[in-house]
């Protein structure tokens, strides 16, 4: 899956890059990096180019956790 564009066949256990995660959630790569730094998202592996990979389900959980955070409520309103 890594290196390929996301499509409707992506499973929740599939591994994706930070760029793909950002695209999936409609955020920047910097936001994904922040989620990792804050402990909302953990690396699940590396691709052939040593880029960090994340499970789709973990990305979704991190996005939900940051969206539900009190500081984020005004941004999503």
**What tokens were used for 17?**
């890059």
pTM: 0.76
Question: From CA 21, how far away is CA 2, in angstroms rounded?
Answer: 11
Q: Output the tens digit of pLDDT for each of the chain's 77 residues.
A: 444 455 555 688 899 999 999 999 999 999 999 999 999 999 999 999 999 999 999 999 999 988 876 666 555 45
Question: From CA 12, how far away is CA 38, in angstroms rounded?
Answer: 22
Q: Which domains does the chain have, with CATH numbers?
A: 15-76 (1.10.1660.10)
């Amino acid at each position: 899956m890594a290196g390929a564009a996301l499509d409707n066949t992506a499973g929740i256990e599939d591994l994706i890059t930070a760029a793909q995660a950002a695209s999936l959630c409609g955020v920047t790569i910097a936001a994904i990096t922040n989620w990792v730094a804050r402990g909302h998202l953990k690396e699940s592996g590396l691709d052939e180019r040593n880029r960090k990979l994340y499970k789709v389900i973990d990305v979704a959980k991190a996005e939900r956790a940051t969206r539900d955070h009190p500081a984020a409520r005004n941004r999503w309103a």
